[in-house]
Amino acid sequence: TLQRVIWIIGNLRLEKAVPKLSILAKDCQDFVIVTEIINTLIKIGTSDAIKIVEELSTHTSNIIRKYASEKLNYYLTRNDTERLK
């Protein structure tokens, strides 16, 4: 399924998939797919990937906005903690 493919992309941290994930996230209204894209972008962790999550934090769907914001805060907090070590 599409969700499984997105999950695999995240586990492999395929940076070259980021532009396609961006297009898919912006065109998709399926919460399950968009949340999987957000998870994958956080796993990839490049500046381009994080920028897309930031954009998704202003999505038209309240639940997607909330999920993107929570994951973004988690990512930023985790990175701040790692820098302090």
For the chain, what is the HEC assignment?
CHHHHHHHHHHHCCHHHHHHHHHHHHHCCCHHHHHHHHHHHHHHCCHHHHHHHHHHCCCCCHHHHHHHHHHHHHHHHHHHHHHHC
Per-residue pLDDT of the chain (85 residues; tens, 9 = 90+): 999 999 999 999 999 999 999 999 988 889 999 999 999 999 999 999 999 999 999 998 999 999 999 999 999 888 766 655 5
At residue 29, the pLDDT reads: 86
Q: Could you give the C-alpha distances from 60 to 10, 26, 28, 29, 35, in angstroms and in order? A: 24, 10, 11, 9, 14
Contact 2, 33 (CB under 8 A): yes
Distance CA 46, CA 57 (A): 17
